A and B are shown apart, each in its own frame.
Chain A
Amino acid sequence: MKLFISCDSLARAVGADDLVEALLGEAERRQVKLDIQRTSSRGLYWLEPLVEIDSEQGRLGFGPIDSADAASLLDALASADCQHPQALGLVEDIPYLKSQQRLLFARAGITRPTSLDDYRANGGFEGLAKAALMPTEQVVTEVLDSGLRGRGGAAFPAGIKWRTVREAQATQKYIVCNADEGDSGTFADRMLMEGDPFLLIEGMLIAGLAVGASMGYIYVRSEYPDAIAALNEAIIIAREAGYLDSTGSGVAFDLEVRVGAGAYICGEETALLESLEGKRGIVRAKPPLPALEGLFGLPTLVHNVLTLASVPIIMARGAQYYRDFGMGRSLGTLPFQLAGNVRQGGLVERAFGLTLRELVEGYGGGTASGRPLKAAQVGGPLGAWVPPEHFDTPLDYEAFAAIGAMLGHGGVVVADHTLNLAGMARFAMQFCAEESCGKCTPCRIGSTRGIEVVDRIIASTDAGEREDHANLLRDLCDTMQYGSLCAMGGMTAYPVASALKHFPADFGLATQEAAQ
């Protein structure tokens, strides 16, 4: 009997390893031969640990399965109809999964992460094969035409960066993958690196080919040890298979994983470059652009994991195929990540344009606590708290900017009525104070003053005084937003100002209209 169980770190954190052990033990007692393949995760995390088995129609799923259910599961699998209380039917038919448009995560839950055969058998390296036959200029044109924008949060058109780096004159250029996914509520980069590391390698290879770079670095945060291990293993396999080369002969591209050291600011691209150079992660002023003077002062293409991982599919299927997904200027798909107080947390890869309500209520199924929904923070710790009255906004970069929010990396943290947003505003300032690199004043000092002002609002017993402090906080947000050197200080204003605007009662303030 062959079963599929995920080896994703979060599946393991909720008991996948214990389950595998229990199943193997139980099978041995029954003298049944059991082959358990450890695949990536489907991203249906509320169903993890999820067990899958092949059937004539496709894979059948069972989940979540506790290790105490090992015996009952084996009973069910041995029977003709596979009846079990946790039976889910065909995994591909689970509405949560069936309605998704999985381009980046097409192999999620299906393949073994570091099996080159699995990767190749499921479309792997098709993009590279096509790109290798094209003039490099055309590869860049394809990326431009696809409409792909940076998935790290800033949403800058990727192709323009590629063209800039390609046209830069230098003896050495670099590809740097920003895998410092520090935003709370986001885990798509982690899932992709742990579950499909060859896809990132393929994307970086194509990028290296197109812009003329011979070396790539993947800067992974230290909080992701499983991703680091998967990438390192995949890089060795890719080298042995001849895709990468560290000797400088044959294909002229090699990769190295570098590990961060717990500094959130190193997710900012210039701080990341400083860190890669072995320095403190202090933000650089731009210009010069990293595309021209990046790592070690040389032209460098810096992209988020998902941006680079989108490239193979664009090359394999063509720019037109990719840009047919999405709306307006937000083209392609975005893997949204549902997290926090949500009943069905997980990964939802969809074309841009579905509404936040469809995501949170449709896919998420509302709050996990069952209490009324209060707000969702979209785009990580520097994203705005969006109140339910804005939930019909389509998930599109421009539409979110228009309501004073941002999509960022696609993370959505759901909160119910028990979460006090004055406390979260204070936390945003505290986080900024702790993680600021200290280079610019609005961020370094503004964040500490911000904590104090929020504390004064909360502590004050006088309504007029609270209003005065609130105005001061609004002013401070303004200064940080427009005066900071990078998004760290600049966007800390988003969660604070949005909490203040939409949830004044949490601060003991009068309603919005009265406050303004």
Chain B
Amino acid sequence: MPDELHHLPLIHQVLEHERHKPGALLPILHAIQNGLGYVPDTAVPEIAHALNLSLAEVRGVISFYHDFRTTPPARHTLRLCQAESCRSRGAEALAAQVREQLGVDDHGTTADGALSLRPVYCLGACACSPALELDGKLHARLTPERLRELVAGCMTEVTA
């Protein structure tokens, strides 16, 4: 575990800013994750103390929601839609292709830490399925070739 104490200033800043909001826990977790890329373990007691919650309550919320992560993210995050609309246009085959190309399973990260693969259930791009989101950017009318290109782009950039 890397030394996470250097994250404390940002965590305190977020808490100072957000703690007085009604129902502040989700906005706090989002703000920390936006700033650091994940919610480090050191944040948990700080949040619990600021909101007068137990550690279990804070951890329970972090683990309940798919978005919150407790480890640093890969350089790139690929979220491939696996919901009905995209499935009707071949999303399962696309998922198999990308798993093979990367050699990782869903929720997995490549060994070099370049890219992590996450399934997502609907990006609201259903009129032009299949769709994916790469580092926050939406791509629709996806073809196997385009997907291969996007993934390859992430991999070469890191090794370069």
Contact = CB atoms under 8 A, between A and B. Distances in A.
A340 B129 contact: yes
Interface in A256-279: 258-264, 275-279
Interface string A332-349: 000001111100011100
A264 B65 CA distance: 9
Contacts of A277: 22-23
A480 B128 CA distance: 33
A264 B64 contact: no
B66 A424 contact: no
B68 A14 contact: no
Contacts of B141: 14
Nearest to B27: A258
Interface string A408-423: 0001011110010000
Nearest to B122: A184
A183 interface: yes
Given A280-B61, A337-B126, A340-B126, A184 B121 contact: yes
B67 to A, nearest CB: 4
Interface stretch (A219-227, A323-331, A508-516): A219-227
B127 A339 contact: yes
B29 A340 contact: no
B65 A184 contact: no
A186 B22 CA distance: 30
B17 to A, nearest CB: 14
Given A10-B140, A13-B138, A278-B26, A184 B126 contact: yes
Contact of B85 (A13, A222, A264, A339): A339
B120 interface: yes
A181 interface: yes
A12 B138 contact: yes
Interface in A4-46: 9-10, 12-14, 43, 45-46
Nearest to A45: B127
A185 interface: yes
Contacts of A263: 64-66
Contact of A261 (B65, B83, B139): B65
B124 A14 contact: no
B153 interface: no
A296 B57 CA distance: 17
Interface in A270-322: 275-281, 296
A63 interface: no
A411 B126 CA distance: 9
B25 interface: yes
Contact of B88 (A43, A48, A419): A419
A264 B120 CA distance: 11
B30 A296 contact: no
Given A223-B123, A340-B129, A9 B67 contact: no
B128 A341 contact: no
Interface string B98-141: 00000000000000000000001111111111010100111111
B121 A182 contact: yes
A345 B122 contact: no
Interface string A210-246: 0000000000001111000000000000000000000
B9 interface: no
A435 B60 CA distance: 15
Q: Which of B27, B86, B120, B126 has the most CB of A within 10 A?
A: B126
Interface string A164-206: 0000000000000000011111110010000000000000000
Interface string B53-80: 0000100110011111000000000000
A155 interface: no
Nearest to A17: B137
Contacts of A281: 64-65
Contacts of A182: 121-122
A349 to B, nearest CB: 14
Given A340-B89, A377-B84, A424-B87, A280 B60 contact: yes
A261 to B, nearest CB: 3
Contacts of B154: none
A439 B124 CA distance: 28
A13 B137 CA distance: 8
Contacts of B51: 278
A261 B66 contact: yes
B62 to A, nearest CB: 9
Contacts of A152: none
Interface of A: 9-10, 12-14, 43, 45-46, 48, 181-187, 190, 222-225, 258-264, 275-281, 296, 337-341, 345-347, 368, 377, 381, 411, 413-416, 419, 424, 427, 431, 435
Closest 10 CB pairs of A and B: A278-B25, A184-B83, A339-B126, A345-B127, A261-B65, A262-B66, A45-B127, A340-B88, A262-B67, A13-B138
19 contacts: A9-B125, A9-B138, A13-B125, A14-B128, A184-B85, A184-B86, A223-B133, A278-B24, A278-B51, A279-B25, A339-B127, A340-B85, A341-B89, A345-B126, A368-B89, A381-B84, A413-B126, A414-B88, A419-B87
Given A258-B27, A263-B65, A427-B87, 16 more contacts: A10-B124, A46-B127, A184-B122, A185-B83, A185-B126, A222-B67, A224-B124, A278-B24, A280-B60, A338-B127, A341-B129, A345-B127, A345-B129, A381-B121, A414-B88, A427-B84
